[in-house]
Structure 1
Amino acid sequence: MADTLALPVEPQVKMGLERSDTDSYEEERKKKLGSFKKMEVNASSKFRNSLKKKSRRDSRVISAASIDDNLNPEELQAVNEFRQALILDELLPAKHDDHHMMLRFLRARKFELDKAKQMWADMLQWRKDFGADTIMEDFDFKEYNEVIKYYPQGYHGVDKDGRPVYIERLGQVDANKLTQVTSMDRYLKYHVKEFEKTFAVKFPAASLAARRQIIQTTTILDVEGVGLKSFNKAARELLQRLQKIDSDNYPETLNRMFIINAGSGFRFLWSTVKSFLDQKTTAKIHVLGNKYQSKLLEVIDANELPEFLGGSCDCTDKGGCMVSDKGPWNDPAILKRVQNGEFKYTRNTSGIKDIACRDMKMDCSTETARGTAEWHEENTPLSPVFESPIKKKCLDSFAYDKCIPIVDRGNDSSWPKSVEDEKHAISK
């Protein structure tokens, strides 16, 4: 047996054995590869499922907090160029590093970069001189309760697009009593404080409620009984100062204005008022007579419109519509999210990816390239900006009503007592 085992193997037999060993090796290798692939597929499947579960969990949060950012690619590109120019000139405090704020200034100057930059620089200087950055905590308009009594005005609800609705009842102004409880300078400060409050609270809350970017208002001015005698020298001065503050420092915040109950006296006055306004503003203003209700209801739901304007709301539980400050900014859940900054803008990047691809000299026809462009657009870090010190008392909390304590105060008689108050007709 031992000799037999020791016999030399014929070449053909040896080759056959070698082929058999190779086949066995290949089969074993394939089995191992198949096992690895199965493990890989299982692991990948588990990973994808975990991502899907995480995505489902996250999507609930994102869908609840995301709002639509309606910047088109051309606007976004213009804003980015404007932003870089501001950074180079050290004109971009972190507080104002906001695409929509920059876009408003670009629109106000018809996207002419140098003019928009000058307007922006002038705005920053005005804010410093006026104290606008800290006015929400520094200025106490103690006479608010008296002012609102003699000059009915305020926000009430939102229009069908989610914009805050601002109302003034100029025909009910008691100018004599009003001038006994405040001064022109103090009212200007109050006006600026209200604008700051609108940007800090009302616009973010309205944006969250509408799930789209809200940076403009719809305004209703009830001018019943207002005529030329209402527009004396003091009123003209105040109107001019208000209009300059608004157009220079808060541009492009008016979406549309309805002037209602406009009689012959006001229509004559309107020809004078228009001279203080730019063409873009006057194009947004609709002067109506006493049959205005259907026009208002085209843009504002009845339950968001006071009864005295043709709607169905009376706010009896709040003391009346003009003092209720009705709106999503008073919804505790929304206000809490505003306070915590728990919202972000989502942007349609289809056109932006094309710009990113072009800038990176890539062909975006493939899914990989477009994905790379999307990553580039979403992950490009912001350039550093120069911070300015900002007090935190009212910026950390958007509960703005707590920043406006109302207490008794002696009368300020520095405002001429002859003021007739059609004064803020076109102020918002």
Structure 2
Amino acid sequence: MPVPGELIAFEESEKFSKDANLDIETSEDEKRRRGRGRSLKKKAMTASTKLTHSLKKRGGRVSDCKYTAISIEDVRDAEEEKAVKAFRQALLAKDQLPSRHDDYYTLLRFLKARKFDLDKTIQMWEDMLNWRNENGVDTIVQDFVYDEYEEVQQCYPHGYHGVDKQGHPVYIERIGKIVVGKLMKVTTVERFLKYHVQGFEKAFLEKFPACSMAAKKPIDCTTTILDVQGLNWMSFGKVANDLVMRMQKIDGDNYPETLHQMYIVNAGSRFKLLWNTARGFLDPKTTAKIHVLGNKFHTKLLEIIEPSQLPEFLGGTCSCPNDGGCLRSDKGPWKNPEIMKLTHLGYALYFRKTESSENDNLEVKFLSTKVATSEISCVSDVRLDTSDFMQLVSLSNEERMSGPNSLYGTSKPENAARTLS
């Protein structure tokens, strides 16, 4: 493991109107801030109108505007925000910030991976962009078809299943059931690596946005469970070992800080001995995320994952009825039709500042027209770029939304709305 324009509409209410016309004794600074907020609202409404006209020109029907509202709270660290801003400005100066990656949380993940060393982070970022270009990663979701998926699942059971109690998608691998010889007969190392990368891209395209909507907070990392029951290191083989090492390098170099927690279950005494030796060579920050458990792991997993979200073979109550069971069900918020309409057909960002300790507490409402299933085809040519989903920026400092230092654009204030034309 592991995004073209946006529909943006702002919810109007009596309260908003009253707030916009507060007492005339309001300070000049406050008036200017409200003026900028109203300007953003106007631009966003214009964006929505443009999308509607665009759909009508294509002959599509646009349903009555009914809104689905999802509030997301995001509390940021002031020092991290400062570091992200400096990193972003450095990338802009080097023309190394494609719009699909111009995202607060993406930038922050890379900074964390290099312990906020700006020069090292910039080098890591440039290497990532080169890797994506050389391997066609930007279009791998559309271009790559993994025909051998079903055969691979039979000798390497794995997949996403549900979310943990904090809303992170849960990814499960039954490593002890891998049959390496059979795996290499039905696929190749290179094709499996492409499949692995495609999985990461799909996570950022659909799973993380859907989980963020469901959890009502930014989600961009996973909880992973590795079931090592029956694993025989002697039969694991050099090819399998090389495959694992290559996947780990791809993940670390290009999708850093996407692991929330990892739970290795059914670990025997030999595995625990190897882990105790290996952990001494790893970053303490990484080892703190990895929990090696024996065969009495059920209580621990149920502390972090609801039983209904956990397969029976891991101590939960879920037994997906589909062919192949839980690990082929791909169960999760990304299977919710209403959430995926927001993800694919458009969503709106309504920013409102609320107070929270020393930091700004950002509440974001995602508003989208509900489009009937029969109408989805009419907007298939204006699918939305969900990389911008994670760009949650507080309006407590509206100057971030425009100008050369904006987290949304280099010079055009309308980039905050990323209008469709």
Whether TM exceeds 0.5 here: the answer is yes
Equivalent residue, structure 2, for 1:342? 347
Alpha-carbon distance between aligned partners in 1 of 2:323 and 2:79, rounded to the nearest angstrom? 45
SS class of match (1:91): coil
Deviation by residue 1:329-382 (Cα, 9 ceiling, x = unmatched): 0000001100024154858676578xxxxxxxxxxxxxxxxxx97443455554
Partner of residue 376, structure 1: 399
Q: Which runs of 5+ in 2 are unaligned?
A: 1-12, 22-43, 45-64, 361-394, 412-419
1:201 corresponds to which residue? 206
Instruction: Find the counterpart in structure 1 of residue 110 from structure 2.
Output: 105
Could you tell me how far apart the structure 1 residues matched to 2:289 and 2:66 are?
Answer: 37
Corresponding position of 2:262:
257
1:78 aligns with: 83
- Cα distance change of structure 1 residues 306 and 203 upon mapping to structure 2, 3 Å threshold: same
TM-score, length-scaled by structure 1: 0.68
Over 3 Å counting, the alpha-carbon distance change for 1:287 and 1:91 in structure 2 is same
Aligned pairs for 1:360-371 within 5 A: none
1:235 to partner: Cα distance: 2.1
The answer for the alignment partner of 1:297 in structure 2 is 302
Aligned to 2:173, what secondary structure does the other structure show?
strand
Checking the alignment, whether the CA contact within 8 Å between 1:69 and 1:345 is kept in structure 2 is no
* CA contact 2:353–2:396 (8 Å) conserved in 1: no
Give the counterpart letter for 1:243 in structure 2. Q
Q: Secondary structure at the match of 1:294?
A: helix
Give the C-alpha shift of residue 308 in structure 1: 0.9
- Residue 71 of structure 1 deviates from its aligned partner by 2.4
Letter in 2 for 1:51: S
Within the candidate set 69, 89, 92, 1:87 is matched to 92
CA distance in 1, matches of 2:228, 2:327: 15
SS at structure 1 position matched to 2:69: helix
Aligned-residue CA RMSD (Å): 3.1
Q: How does 1:191-340 map to 2 (within 5 A)?
A: 191-270=196-275, 274=279, 278-317=283-322, 319-340=324-345
Deviations 1:231-258 (A, max 9, x none): 4322221121111100010000001000
Contact 2:262 2:289 in 1 (8 A): yes
1:180 and 2:181 are equivalent in the alignment: no
Mapped contact 1:70–1:213 kept (Cα < 8 A): no
TM-score, normalising length: structure 2: 0.69
Q: 1:333 to 1:193 in 2, by over 3 A?
A: same
* 2:268–2:294 CA contact under 8 A, matched in 1: yes
Report the 3-state secondary structure (helix = DSSP H, G, I; strand = E; otherwise coil) of the residue aligned with 2:226.
Answer: strand
Which has more radius of gyration?
1
- Residues 172 and 93 of structure 1: is their aligned pair in 2 closer, same or farther, counting only changes over 3 Å? same
- Using the alignment, how far apart are the partners of 1:50 and 1:213 within structure 2? 25
Give the SS at the match of 1:65.
Answer: strand
Name the SS of the counterpart of 1:316 in structure 2.
coil
Q: Which of the residues 39, 42, 51 maps onto 2:17? A: 51
The Cα shift of 1:200 comes to 0.6
SS of residue in 2 equivalent to 1:232? helix
Higher RCO (C-alpha 8 Å, min separation 6): 2
**Contact 1:67 1:344 (C-alpha < 8 Å) held by counterparts:** no
Q: Pick the structure with more helix per residue.
A: 1
Which structure carries more strand by proportion?
A: 2
**1:103-142 to 2 correspondence within 5 Å?**
103-142=108-147
Q: Provide the C-alpha distance between the structure 2 equivalents of 1:272 and 1:235, rounded to a whole number of angstroms.
A: 21
Aligned amino acid, residue 121 of structure 1: E
Unaligned runs of 5+ in 1: 1-46, 354-371, 386-395, 397-428
Q: How many residues align?
A: 320
Verify the 8 A CA contact 1:228 1:265 in the aligned structure 2.
Answer: no
Q: 1:136 to 1:213 in 2, by over 3 A?
A: same
Partners of 1:178 and 1:49 lie apart in 2 by 60
Q: CA deviation at 1:286?
A: 0.4
Q: Secondary structure at the match of 1:291?
A: coil
Report what 1:412 is aligned to. none
Deviation (angstroms), 1:266: 2.3
1:212-270 deviation line (CA, Å, top 9, x unaligned) = 00011000000001132144322221121111100010000001000000012323443
